[in-house]
Structure 1
Amino acid sequence: MPLTLYSVSDGPPSLAVQQCLKYLNLEYSLVNVDFGRGDHMTKEFELKNPQKEIPVLDDNGFQFGESNAILQYLADKYPKDSTLYPKDLKERALVNHRLCFNLSTYYRYISEHVMAPIFFDYKRTPLSLKKTHIALSNFNTYLKRNGTKYAATDNVTIADFQLVTATMCLEAIDFNFSEYDLVQQWYDTYKQEYPELWKIVERGMKEISEFEKNPPDLSHMVHPIHPVRK
């Protein structure tokens, strides 16, 4: 029975997992969860993920959410090489750190500035802008200290999948982050070296860019967690 991924078409965590599945050449069924309609808030979806968050992976009845955990699981169960999720303790620690950094700071701050104001009743503020610059500065510093081509090592790892999808949110709204030269270099390198993976990300980016110009009406969403724009 193939893997099944419950995904949202423009969701960075979902796109990170899709990149991993593509990199590993894994066959899977893709189930699009309609975020705008609130499919993730239904009782049916709650059985798959009590957190009512996307993505969710189903591996022959074994279901779980949290994109970081999904990436780690896939890379360990279906290894293609020794670099995507290295076994060396220090290298793996750096990969895990970058995954945690993305969750706690990088994507969190970028999402608060980019995604929340598009989809819900939040505003972009000087504080959300400041936090976005903090996230970019942190990442730039990590790249400088590590001196590697990619986020954790000289090879692409599962951490890059998350960080790339977070960064594309900035590109989607034409946010200029070129002052963070190493982040820009890393981002451009990924696009050039992994064009097939970037295509997955780019599709989501185009959706976000369109929503930036024409915010979706989520007033009919079933039991939204965040305040809906009036």
Structure 2
Amino acid sequence: FGSRSEGELQHFCSFSIVTSSHSNTVRVMGCNFGTQGQTADKTAASGVKIYGVSISPNAMPAVMMVVEMNVGSLVQVDLTKGDQMKPEFLEMNPFHRVPTMNDGILSIGELSAILRYLAMKYNKEAYPGSQDVDKSAFIDFALTSALTEVYPKFSKVVYPVMGFAPAVEDFSGPTEELSKAIETWLEHFVKGTDFVKGSKPTIADYGVIAYLFAAMQPVIAEKTGFKPSERHVQYVENFSKAVKSSSLLSDGDNSIKAFIASKST
């Protein structure tokens, strides 16, 4: 869920909420969101704030970038309580979607827009903008393709396992489509390099990595039969080595890795 599918969590997670004063955690029928000391309050923390959920493959790319650059952090949004519909949130993003970013007087939504902004302001190596128009255009192509070509196939395979989409009886078609989309993306955009257009991660790499990481979790193979290629696995490993904040995808009880693992039978 995320920019396109905030409602998936609301449809497929119970609204029965139990809170723990010791761990500052919210549990929602198998959906576990650690607030990490911050809630959806526009004044909750200094620096760049990424409003989202720690198990969201759409929100975590922006979170990883601000943490990697040491300029900000995640502010958890409890979608089941309607945090995204509060006036202070709608002031930032009237479409009430996550991820949403706030940096001083600027607030924007949509992952691609957030990643471009963060890179141009804090991490120019990830997106050169007008300094190298050709490279930026190719990175834009890769990022948009990740969101429009890889993500729709990913959501049909991974989200049913995570509980964010209806159950699927036969995954053979969806897994084949996902494999083809991922391999096509890697072949075209990561050809002879570790990352898109070079040896250092770009915003396109940040944008796609959570999908590929989630898809290669053992429970996904167990439930759907999807098996990542060697190239797929190597790409994720390369990103993990290059970007320390990628550990956010796997560390802790509220990570994507832990959440998917909890779906094992």
TM-score range (shorter-chain normalised) is 0.7 to 0.9
Cα root mean square deviation, aligned:
2.5
- Alpha-carbon offset, residue 84 of structure 1: 1.4
Kindly provide the CA deviation profile for residues 105-125 of structure 1, in whole angstroms up to 9, marking residues without a partner as x.
112211222124533451334
1:151-166 pair list within 5 angstroms = 151-166=196-211
Partner of 1:72: 116
1:133 partner amino acid: S
Does the 8 A contact of 2:54 with 2:256 survive in 1? no
Contact 1:143 1:183 in 2 (8 A): no
Give the Cα–Cα distance (whole angstroms) in 1 for the partners of residues 227 and 189 of structure 2: 15
Partner amino acid, structure 2, of 1:95: I
TM-score, scaled to structure 1 = 0.78
CA distance in 2, matches of 1:37, 1:212: 23
Equivalent pairs, count: 208
- The residue that corresponds to 1:206 in the other structure is 257
Q: TM-score, normalised by structure 2?
A: 0.69
Equivalent of 2:178 in 128, 132, 135? 132
Q: Is the 8 A contact 1:13 1:165 kept in 2?
A: yes
Amino acid at match of 1:118: M
CA drift at 1:70: 0.5
In structure 2, do the counterparts of structure 1 residues 24 and 93 end up closer, same or farther at CA, with 3 Å as the change threshold? same
Contact 1:102 1:162 in 2 (8 A): yes
- Contact persistence 2:101–2:108 (CA under 8 A): yes
For the 8 Å contact 2:142–2:189, the answer to whether it is kept is no
Query: Are residues 198 and 3 of structure 1, via their aligned partners in 2, closer, same or farther at CA, if it must alter by over 3 Å?
Result: closer
Pick one of 92, 113, 117 that aligns with 2:157.
113
Looking at structure 2, the residues matched to 50 and 118 of structure 1 have their Cα atoms a distance apart, in angstroms, of 27
Identity of aligned residues (%): 23
- 1:21 has 2:66 as partner: yes
Q: Kindly state the Cα deviation for residue 43 of structure 1 after the two structures are TM-superposed.
A: 5.7
- Retained in 1: the 8 A contact 2:159–2:165? no
- Kindly indicate whether the alpha-carbon contact (under 8 Å) linking 1:143 and 1:182 is maintained by their aligned counterparts in 2: no
